[in-house]
Amino acid sequence: MLIDVETERNITKIPHETEFRNFKKKISSEDYQKIVDKINNIIDNDMDIGKGIQTAGWIPGNKWEGTVFEPISMACGGDIEMSSKIFGLIVWIVFMERKDRWGFGRYSVNEIPIKSMTYFKIKD
């Protein structure tokens, strides 16, 4: 469940939905599900060690070749910027569909803005 921490409302909409729907037409449902499962696995494993923070762009790493994330790049015609955007939307959806509560925001490290969205576990 994704929560807007300022309004305490559940997020139920996908940003850039048209681009996301176009992407979904270019990837198999099996490949998409493998990506979702991998992201959830990473989140769950990190939660097992007490980590309740995830930054979308740091999840996949820089090299997607040979990983479950490679089909994103292929569906985006190798466009790195679009692949990153679509990956960020998939992460958004994963957090939106989880049963546990997560907030989100844009933050910085050492006064340098992080380019992607950061998600944090909200304690019940």
d(CA 72, CA 70): 5
pLDDT score of 108 more than 80: yes
| Predicted local confidence at residue 45, as pLDDT | 87
| Predicted local confidence at residue 62, as pLDDT | 79
Query: Which band of pLDDT confidence, cut at 50, 70 and 90, is reported for residue 22?
Result: very high
Q: Rounded mean pLDDT of 17-39?
A: 96
pLDDT score of 48 more than 70: no
Burial 55-71 (b: 16+ CB within 10 A, else e): bbbebbeeebeeebbbb
d(CA 20, CA 114): 22
Number of helices (H) and strands (E) in the chain: give both, helices first.
4, 7
Task: Give the start-to-end residue ranges of the domains of the chain.
Answer: 3-121
CB 100 within 8 A of CB 54: no
Q: What is the pLDDT of residues 63-74, one digit of tens each?
A: 899 999 999 999
